[in-house]
Structure 1
Amino acid sequence: MKLWGGLSVLGLVYAALAFGIDQTFKWWMLHVFDIEARQPVALLPVFDLVLAWNKGVSYGWLSGDASQDLLIAMSLAIAAGLWIWLAKATHPMTAAAIGLIIGGALGNALDRAVYGAVADFFSFHIGSFSWYIFNLADVAIVAGVGLLVYESFTEGRAR
């Protein structure tokens, strides 16, 4: 099994950036800005900063204290599988996308290990409709998946 490839460094850089930016922002929001005492902070009529502790995955699925260890293990297993995929990557966009997903997954896994839940801050809403609250790790994961989907469509056209 190949664990290092020609684009592994690129993927590692993107993973480190996603992880580092996510964890730095979370630390700042929790310990410097003190979002818990100030929330909600309305930045736009449709966007607030709040603090929500998510013990589950998207929309609170699999929430509960007992599931934290399982979710950490799943994040680590997924990151390991993605690392193997990264070692075989032949396109820079693939490596960057996989790196973003790994960094985001590890950022949320660290939250679970340290706090017992993932710290989420961004709340979009229009009238009574509210999107789920998310964080920068989630943004990195979605961006990485989006890049992989985009690449799969453009690769097919190139052939």
Structure 2
Amino acid sequence: MKVNIEAYKDIPEGTTTVAQTWSADLIAGAAGYLPEGVTDEVLGFWHPPAGSYVVTNDSMGVLSDAQSPVLAHLYLNFLLDNEVAEKNFSWVGYLPAIAKLDADYVIGAGYVPEHLRNCVPTNDEIAQALYLRPLGATGDAQYETAWAKFTAGG
């Protein structure tokens, strides 16, 4: 086992065959990292049943003491515009939290292959998702110990 943050390219290229990764890594891989002559049918994604896994997305915010808070909010509004969000998604493969970009839409638009439909969380899956919560001091210490052991190869 190894730590690998490049599943988006390593899985489609065939240098990694199985990985725990974000669903968007498969979407991005299907869009731009398959070797010539290889179809996206070689890619697959599995997740546990709804209510038993974490669904997340990147977060954006403006610091309370931002130098240009109005400009920052305008930039966030720009990123959340349907057309801009769709264009960004079409390039990176990571879905923004935009209702318009559901599975039917992104598959119909050709961004996601039908057989990777489960890479796009449904409203039901999002509603039932597990959430990451603070671990507390004991949990943090246990995590740090386990992570250090894992990254050291043990």
TM-score (norm 1): 0.25
Question: Greater share of helix residues, 1 or 2?
Answer: 1
**Bigger strand fraction:** 1
**Greater C-alpha Rg:** 2
TM-score (norm 2): 0.25
